[in-house]
Amino acid sequence: MTTPEADNPGVSRWNRLRRTPLALLAAMVMALYLIGDQYPFSNYPMYANFGEQALVFFLSDGEGEPYAMKRVFNKSASDAKKIYKSYLEDACMAADLEENEATLEMKRAAGGKVLTQLLTEHKRKDFAEETSRSPVLQARLRRVWLDESDAFHDEVILLAEESLAP
């Protein structure tokens, strides 16, 4: 069985290729293979490589018990972490350091700025009720990582503390 294009020598190879779904599929697969994991051809480039550590910025009471961010502020924990990383990055750039070289003082200054920003700009209406279990609000950073021997490490740093007393 022949197609009209095969009988017509005036039809280009490209037109014949264009009408063959399997050939198009093969061409797309080859093109995407050559392009690799490059935006916009990958929906999830953030999952291509995992960092060596994970950071969680959270707010807690005076005993270190975390608050549910969305119940206390109009920001999520991931938003607060992004704000923290932005302040820390600015401090590191000013000191000509890489982010992983940041000092504890730099981390605490960035955490203090985040806590101040959250308290001044992002409190929910029921903030006092949600935070009534403690007279202080603390900003903390949890860092977890595996070392070269695959040993798990978990570290929590107190970054800043604000009194909630009226």
Residues 16 and 85 in one domain: no
Residues 31 and 95 in one domain: no
| pLDDT tens profile 60-109 | 998 999 998 888 898 888 899 999 999 999 999 999 999 889 999 999 99
- The pLDDT assigned to 83 comes to 94
Residues 41 and 54 in one domain: no
Residues 119 and 148 in one domain: yes
Residues 103 and 116 in one domain: yes
Residues 84 and 34 in one domain: no
154 Cβ contact list (under 8 Å, min separation 6): 142, 143, 144
| pLDDT tens profile 128-150 | 888 888 899 999 999 998 888 88
- The pLDDT assigned to 51 comes to 72
pLDDT, greater one: 154 or 129 = 154
Q: Which of 28, 45, 62 is the last residue of a domain?
A: 45
- The pLDDT assigned to 108 comes to 96
C-alpha distance from residue 160 to each of 48, 60, 105, 111 (Å): 34, 10, 11, 6
- The pLDDT assigned to 54 comes to 87
Pairwise CA distance, residues 44 & 145, whole Å: 22
Q: Is 75 left (phi over 0), alpha (psi -120 to 50) or beta?
A: beta
- The pLDDT assigned to 124 comes to 87
Residues 28 and 66 in one domain: no
Specify the pTM.
0.67
Task: Tell me the pLDDT band of 17, cut-offs 50, 70 and 90.
Answer: low
Per DSSP, the three-state class of 75 is coil
| pLDDT tens profile 19-61 | 777 777 888 888 888 887 666 666 665 555 667 788 899 999 9
For residue 36, what are the domain limits?
4-45
Tell which residue, 131, 159, 24, has the closest CA to residue 69.
131
